[in-house]
Amino acid sequence: MSRTVYVNGEYLPEEEAKVSIFDRGFLMADGVYEVTSVLDGKLVDFEGHAKRLERSLGELEMKAPCTTGELLEIHRELVAKNGIEEGMIYLQITRGSPGDRDFVFPDPETTAPTIVLFTQNKPGLADNPVAKQGISVISIEDIRWGRRDIKTVQLLYPSMGKMMAKKAGADDAWLVEDGKVTEGTSNNAYIVKGGKIITRALSNDILHGITRAAVLRFAREAQMEVEERSFSIEEAQGADEAFFTSASAFVMPVVKIDGAEVGTGKPGPVAARLREIYLDESRKTAI
């Protein structure tokens, strides 16, 4: 069934939505994005995603095509038009189409940004049976650029990482730099040792996950101990539990790292509890 998508001010059937071949998102990966999940037909952590988007745009000196209030309206309109109960909304903003290829940024006064949004319908997202089994990851070298805090559409290496995992018979990959895990290909990475939740501190080395911020807040509110520091693959393999977070997977247990079982080889109680709290609280605060 055809979706209704949003392109530069218009709601259109997906077949009719078009972007120029000169768009800098297409030619230069000169664009940023956000993925917001939908539960019970409502947006989870919308404000966090809108704030991070504003920051990504600012870091790249890109103009916002509309206000946060207008963005919220567009998100809600797409949820309604496509009848989404559970799923995601993908949003992308690029530096627009100057009508030719040039490395130099176009003048924002004459080249408007391109904005595209579409829905991804995922019934059963919250009840995903994979979360009950856990997933396996491999480790690969993190060779991405140095501004991973900006949510750009340069996703070739994360895609390659997922393909490397697939070829190795695993589900995903964790990225390693200078002997320490930075994050997953499209998620933030955690381990649990002696009841303590350990995850890398925020810097330009990782994306500042919106789910990460919420999960750590809920963990602290539930009196769980949190330590923000780096860890190695060896430490993760020897941990009691491992998991990752993202807007599309919420809290996902990791039960195998480079072929070695983590803890009992089954999802652990901390990850299961955090997933439950995150889903409960997100449903309550979704807008």
Enter the DSSP assignment of 152.
Answer: B
Rounded to a whole number of angstroms, the minimum distance from the CB of residue 105 to ligand PDD is: 24
Q: Which is nearer to ligand PDD, 97 or 248 (CB)?
A: 248
Residue 50 has which token pair?
């809108």
User: What distance in Å separates the CA atoms of residue 239 and residue 53, rounded to the nearest whole number?
Assistant: 34
Strands of 10-13's sheet in order across: 10-13, 4-7, 114-121, 87-94, 31-39, 42-43
Name the residue among 216, 179, 174 with its Cα closest to residue 198: 216
Query: Counting contacts by CB under 6 A, is residue 119 touching ligand PDD?
Result: no
The secondary structure of 9-37, three-state, reads: CEEEEHHHCCCCCCCHHHHHCCEEEEEEE
Query: Counting contacts by CB under 6 A, is residue 183 touching ligand PDD?
Result: yes
Among 5, 78, 247, 272, binds ligand PDD (CB under 6 A): 247
Rounded to a whole number of angstroms, the minimum distance from the CB of residue 139 to ligand PDD is: 15
Contact in structure between 16 and 5 (CB atoms under 8 Å): no
Pairing mode, strands 114-121 and 87-94: antiparallel
The piece of 19-27, 69-77, 165-173, 243-251 that touches ligand PDD (CB under 6 A) is: 243-251
Residue 284, amino acid = K
151 noted as active-site residue: yes
Pairing mode, strands 260-261 and 250-257: antiparallel
Rounded to a whole number of angstroms, the minimum distance from the CB of residue 158 to ligand PDD is: 6
**Residues 83 to 112: which contact ligand PDD by CB under 6 A?**
none
Q: Which is nearer to ligand PDD, 106 or 131 (CB)?
A: 131
Among 245, 262, 263, 274, binds ligand PDD (CB under 6 A): 245
**Residues 185 to 214: which contact ligand PDD by CB under 6 A?**
186-188, 207, 209-212
Query: Counting contacts by CB under 6 A, is residue 230 touching ligand PDD?
Result: no
Grouping H, G, I as helix, E, B as strand and the rest as coil, residue 250 is: strand
Out of 51, 63, 151, 196, pick the active-site residue.
Answer: 151
Q: Which is nearer to ligand PDD, 113 or 209 (CB)?
A: 209
Residues classed as catalytic: 151
Per CB under 6 A, residues contacting ligand PDD are: 35, 183, 186-188, 207, 209-212, 245-248
